[in-house]
Structure 1
Amino acid sequence: MSSLIWISGASAGIGAALASAVPFPDARVIDLSRRGGTVEHFKADLSDPADWKRVEQHFAAELAGFDGDRVVFVHNAGTVVPIGPAAAVDADAYTRAVLLNSAAPQVLGRAFLRATAELDREKHLVMLSSGAARNPYPGWSAYNAGKAAVEQWVRTVGAEENGCRVIAVAPGVVDTAMQGDIRAVDERAFPAVERFRDLKRSGGLITAEQAARGIWSLLDRRLDSGTVLDLRDLDG
């Protein structure tokens, strides 16, 4: 084994596609999620702070004595629910969304950086973002704020010269189950819903497999640590 790769939320959607498209044939791939998918699974609820410490300990244990060529953590896990005005949505669901979208990326990202700090190997930390980081869609306050936090965290940590290349990538609008949930929402909860329905009708969505290939291709590009980008803006 020369590559050790963690993907959070690899049980479905983009995360599952990432796990299936890992470009390193000898890689060991570990899914961090509640449900698990087709690869090795470390069960964790990433909206629960109690599990963040377990993940940190898992990183440290797996990297003890690691002598491979590269380590990668792709943080993909996130949620768009609950959808609706902040004052109207369920309080518990909203709290879980804030923890998963805003706090977990920072805490788990720090844990990965700490676990790999003394490792003299190729190191990548890839955070999934979204156009929602820059476009404030009413009804998505926890999701918008979470993705904006991810991008600013990446810019800041990328400037700290920690030996790990840290980037954030927005994959575009991807045809996943989450998009299906979005299209099913009432316009009163999410006024921009018709835009996403139009994208589905017009063939404006990319597949999870296309997104995964684009994300993995970033590891071969000459990107500075702290880079925040959108796959739709890349050439080739």
Structure 2
Amino acid sequence: MGAVSRMLVWISGASAGIGAALAATIPYEAEIVDLSRRGGTPGTQHVAVDLADPASWPLVEEDFTRRLADFDGDRVVFVHNAGTLTPLGPAGVVDTAQYTRNVLLNSAAAQVLGHAFLQAVDGRDFEQHLMMLTSGAALWPYEGESSYCAGKAAVDQWVRAVGLEQQRRKPGCRVISVAPGAVDTAMQEELRAAAEEQVPNARRFRELEATGGLARPEDVARRIWSLLNRDVPNGAVLHVQDL
């Protein structure tokens, strides 16, 4: 895809976990925007938003539009990484308000913000990349994680459909999703701390940590960034282990 001299990147949830690792390991000169509640990640500009609240989504759309208005660089990227496992436990038992926030962040926000990004870059003459962070939970049902599983499955199917659409656009945006695998983040801590009645498979996650089966966020982030220069088809749903 040629040398890149100027680059604009948005990362949702860049204040911790894989998002923070993505900001820390980006192998390009870039302006990085962190879309999150907390912020504080070095080298990023923070837009304070709670992406589980639909009232925040227009703020992100406005930020896309404002920064792109005078952008004359070579490559624009949006990595939608923000997600949540909370609440862990069976549907019909967990807190309704928390369950609703999970659905809004993991499923609805991904689609609405992805749409907003595509609208903002449509017809612009620079490389365009939209990367969604997904999970093996999109394929395999896990008790206690119903809304998370459903949200990630929705993201993957959205990527497949929109990837087909973008093949018809000129220049078009490359839209892909990538599953990072088991990574040493706060999400894994949450799973390890879960009671058996919340997540019957919690013991497996404790064993993963004990046996050194968790990847370092920085290592996973570097693999994700490598996708920008790989010949990956539009609409691809990938796993870092395949890279």
Q: TM-score range by the shorter chain?
A: over 0.9
Q: 1:117 aligns with which of 90, 98, 122?
A: 122
| Distance in 2 between residues matched to 1:159 and 1:225, nearest whole Å | 7
**Counterpart position of 2:32:** 29
The residue identity in structure 2 corresponding to 1:200 is: E
| Distance in 1 between residues matched to 2:120 and 2:26, nearest whole Å | 22
Q: Give the RMSD, CA atoms, in angstroms.
A: 0.8
**Counterpart position of 2:178:** 169
Moved over 6 A (4+): none
Structure 1 gaps, min length 5 = none
| Distance in 2 between residues matched to 1:178 and 1:227, nearest whole Å | 25
Note if 1:213 corresponds to 2:218. Answer: no
| Distance in 2 between residues matched to 1:181 and 1:148, nearest whole Å | 21
| Distance in 2 between residues matched to 1:154 and 1:50, nearest whole Å | 24
For the Cα contact (< 8 Å) 1:7–1:74, is it kept in 2?
yes
| Distance in 2 between residues matched to 1:35 and 1:142, nearest whole Å | 24
Q: 1:96 aligns with which of 80, 93, 101?
A: 101
Deviations 1:109-139 (CA, angstroms, capped at 9, x unpaired)? 0000000002110010000000000010010
Q: 1:220 Cα deviation (Å)?
A: 1.1
Note if 1:191 corresponds to 2:194. Answer: no
Q: 1:58 Cα deviation (Å)?
A: 1.1
TM-score by length of 2: 0.94
Q: 1:233 Cα deviation (Å)?
A: 2.0
Deviations 1:73-127 (CA, angstroms, capped at 9, x unpaired)? 0000000110000110000000000000000000000000000002110010000
The residue identity in structure 2 corresponding to 1:18 is: L
For the Cα contact (< 8 Å) 1:31–1:41, is it kept in 2?
yes
Q: 2:213 aligns with which of 201, 204, 211?
A: 204
Q: 1:223 aligns with which of 232, 238, 243?
A: 232
Percent same amino acid among aligned pairs? 61
| Distance in 1 between residues matched to 2:71 and 2:185, nearest whole Å | 35
**Counterpart position of 1:146:** 151
The residue identity in structure 1 corresponding to 2:129 is: H
| Distance in 2 between residues matched to 1:65 and 1:117, nearest whole Å | 15
Structure 2 gaps, min length 5 = none
Q: 1:37 Cα deviation (Å)?
A: 2.4
| Distance in 2 between residues matched to 1:143 and 1:131, nearest whole Å | 11
Q: 1:53 Cα deviation (Å)?
A: 0.9
The residue identity in structure 2 corresponding to 1:34 is: R
For the Cα contact (< 8 Å) 1:79–1:97, is it kept in 2?
yes
Number of aligned positions between the proteins:
233
Q: 2:85 aligns with which of 67, 74, 80?
A: 80
TM-score by length of 1: 0.97
